[in-house]
């Protein structure tokens, strides 16, 4: 009986289609390189932010969270504006100039700036994925930082309400490697919509700056085009600050912040180009 069953199984296996040779070959060198880069990325991030020593600060909650990479900001769950905080309760000196990072991700970038930057300013991170905000704020509390705060918010609908309540000047807004939403029908999900551009333009103080950055040229060009449309309000910083060098296409050659974002680290490991553009508000908005 056992012999008959074995013979029957062998016959069925023999009749199974054989995968073509190309499907069974080892991955090409480029794929192996990409896989190697992915394996190196977490280590590279740890090295970049080593002085924060964040890993021991999140005990029993998982240093690496299971987070959805993409969310739909047009969902009804993100349509209600987020109420601003009591600034004096979350920041030591709410009259200092404010930097807002839209889509701040894990928050490491802002936490590093809050801890290490020589500039006296406050930092606000807006992020649409709540688990990331909770962990970021946990780190802030553990590090006893009183110049940085994170909020769960859809910046497109909440930016104006939040920032207009801040008692100090808005001096810098950054949008760094936002979700590209490649499909054309999903472009309406991209973070930098006309409503948000208008809010940023009106809220920035005179001489305030906007930093745009992406490792996807199409996304960087789209963001650039939106702010180029406000040429009566903004000038690109290479016209003002000659220390900030640009290439022939007008993209900044160097990172002006002194620290890379996590996405920037991953993209550069994969050999991608980072496209940056920084604007300075030189005139007030004409009403």
Closest CA to 54 of 215, 258, 262, 255: 262
Number of other residues whose CB lies within 10 A of the CB of residue 285? 13
Active site (annotated) includes residue 198 = no
CA distance linking residue 268 with residue 258, whole number of Å? 16
Out of 101, 179, 215, 238, the active site residue is 179
Closest CA to 266 of 211, 216, 224, 220: 216
CA distance linking residue 143 with residue 129, whole number of Å? 22
Catalytic residues: 179
């Amino acid at each position: 009986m056992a012999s008959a069953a074995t013979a029957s199984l062998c016959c069925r296996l023999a009749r199974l289609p054989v995968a073509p040779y190309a499907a069974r070959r080892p991955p090409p060198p480029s794929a192996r390189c990409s896989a190697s880069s992915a394996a190196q990325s977490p280590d590279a991030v740890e090295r970049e932010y080593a002085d924060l020593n964040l890993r021991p600060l999140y005990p029993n909650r998982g240093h690496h969270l299971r987070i959805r990479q993409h969310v739909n900001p047009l969902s009804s769950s993100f349509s209600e504006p987020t109420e601003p905080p009591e600034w004096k309760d979350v920041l030591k000196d709410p009259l200092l100039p404010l930097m807002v990072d839209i889509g701040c991700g894990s928050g490491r970038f802002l936490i590093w700036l809050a801890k290490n930057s020589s500039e006296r300013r406050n930092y606000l991170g807006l992020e649409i994925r709540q688990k990331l905000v909770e962990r970021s704020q946990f780190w802030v509390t553990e590090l006893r930082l009183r110049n940085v705060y994170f909020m769960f918010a859809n910046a497109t609908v909440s930016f104006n309400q939040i920032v207009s309540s801040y008692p100090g000047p808005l001096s810098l807004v950054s949008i760094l490697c936002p979700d590209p939403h490649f499909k054309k029908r999903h472009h309406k999900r991209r973070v930098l919509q006309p409503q948000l551009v208008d809010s940023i333009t009106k809220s920035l103080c005179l001489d305030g700056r906007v930093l745009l950055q992406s490792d996807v040229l199409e996304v960087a060009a789209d963001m650039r085009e939106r702010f180029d449309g406000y040429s009566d309000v903004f000038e690109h910083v290479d016209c003002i600050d000659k220390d900030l060098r640009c290439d022939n296409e007008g993209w900044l050659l160097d990172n002006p912040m002194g620290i890379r974002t996590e996405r920037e680290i991953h993209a550069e490991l994969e050999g991608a180009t980072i496209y940056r553009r920084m604007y300075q508000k030189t005139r007030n908005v004409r009403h």
